[in-house]
Structure 1
Amino acid sequence: MKRLLPSPFLSLALWLLWLLLNLSVSPGNLLLGAVLGFLAPLLMRPLRPQPIRFRRPWTILRLFLLVGRDVLVSNLLVAWGVLNNGRRPVRSAFVKVPLDLRNANGLAALSTITTVVPGTVWSELSLDRSILLLHVFDLEDEAQFIQHFKTTYERPLMEIFE
């Protein structure tokens, strides 16, 4: 059954979303939505990363709180940098962060964290997944930023996913 319907909840969600977007429960839309819900997970199965196995739930909670704190602090710092742009120029830069994290799910979580925290943008990941290129809005000390990034985000994700 798993081979024929790899993600039943995803199939159901796609079918319902199709019906919701079309605002119709006509037989044609019911059938087309069912076909979409059936075929999309089958065709996308090779793109899915390995199954997720969470380890260390307290590390997940700690990481969630750290990211929340960094989101608040970064919002204030970015707002302050924008408001004071005339007095002090912003020192934006690209930073190459060496990565030890190799798990695809961990890298996806890291990219989400990077996107959520204001002032940082995930720019590029090397093909061998060893170097991450980030754009930082206002960079004071590159070495300190890399150390903070690795200890605050990468190390907990390695504990959780590897």
Structure 2
Amino acid sequence: MSPHRPLLRRLFPSPVLSITVVAFWMVMSFTFDVGQLLLGLLLGLVVPLFAARLDREFARIGTLRPVPRLVCTILWDILICNLRVAAQVLGPEDRLKPAFIWLPLDIGNIHGIAALTSFITLTPGTVSAALSEDRRHLLVHVLHLEDADALIAEIKSRYEAPLMEIFP
């Protein structure tokens, strides 16, 4: 074992989290320039250091096969939901049916739950509001709710199922 391995592990406790932070920063910044990339890299270095001190439950990675499809699904959903929310906001206010729903969770890995809450919040029209103490239910606010069961099934199939493969 190299003598630098412990130092690298202390500096980069979770390379997957570092990459995720940088990727999300670049998506959220809406601009791709050197300054934003440097700031994203700095956050990708600092956030996992603090996260490692806060929670000793390290991410176990199962398979990364669902990642490309999951990324495409999220980007597509963000695009479609932006259009849908714009139409809803510009339309008659009395047509909106905001609601809170409790989403039952099958995923138990806290890192998978964190990713799920991020995906829900990144998708316009939905916000993750609370996680039950037993980590079995997630409270989600929806700007417009037609069918709670259909929304729950959609979130579980589009986001939770792939995340359960990634974070067993």
Q: 1:156 corresponds to which letter in structure 2?
A: P
Aligned pair partner of 2:142 in 129, 136, 160 = 136
Q: CA deviation at 1:47?
A: 1.0
C-alpha change, 1:44 and 1:157, in structure 2 (3 Å) is closer
1:8 has 2:15 as partner: no
Q: 2:87 corresponds to which letter in structure 1?
A: W
Name 2:155's counterpart in structure 1.
149
Q: 2:164 corresponds to which letter in structure 1?
A: M
User: 2-side partners of 1:44 and 1:64: how far apart?
Assistant: 23
Aligned pair partner of 2:63 in 26, 51, 56 = 56
Q: CA deviation at 1:51?
A: 2.8
Q: CA deviation at 1:5?
A: 8.1
Structure showing greater Rg: 1
Aligned residues: 131
Q: 1:119 corresponds to which letter in structure 2?
A: G
Which structure 1 residue ranges, 5 or more long, are not aligned? 11-40
Q: 2:167 corresponds to which letter in structure 1?
A: F
- Partner SS for 1:97: strand
Which string of whole-angstrom CA distances, capped at 9 and with x for unpartnered residues, describes residues 75-99 of structure 1? 010000001124x520110011100
1:116-127 → structure 2 map (5 Å cutoff):
116-127=122-133
C-alpha change, 1:7 and 1:147, in structure 2 (3 Å) is same
1:21-32 → structure 2 map (5 Å cutoff):
none
- Partner SS for 1:57: coil
Which string of whole-angstrom CA distances, capped at 9 and with x for unpartnered residues, describes residues 6-52 of structure 1? 63258xxxxxxxxxxxxxxxxxxxxxxxxxxxxxx5x8644134333
Q: CA deviation at 1:155?
A: 0.8
Aligned pair partner of 1:76 in 83, 87, 91 = 83
Whether the aligned pair in 2 keeps the contact of 1:124 and 1:133 (CA below 8 Å) is yes
C-alpha change, 1:49 and 1:145, in structure 2 (3 Å) is farther
**TM-score with structure 1 setting the length:** 0.71
1:42-121 → structure 2 map (5 Å cutoff):
45-86=52-93, 88-121=94-127
User: 1-side partners of 2:57 and 2:137: how far apart?
Assistant: 21
C-alpha change, 1:117 and 1:8, in structure 2 (3 Å) is same
- Partner SS for 2:100: strand
**TM-score with structure 2 setting the length:** 0.69
CA RMSD of aligned residues (A): 2.4
After TM superposition, the runs of 4+ consecutive aligned structure 1 residues lying more than 3 A away are 1-6, 43-46
Which structure 2 residue ranges, 5 or more long, are not aligned? 14-48
Whether the aligned pair in 2 keeps the contact of 1:49 and 1:104 (CA below 8 Å) is no
Identity rate, percent: 39
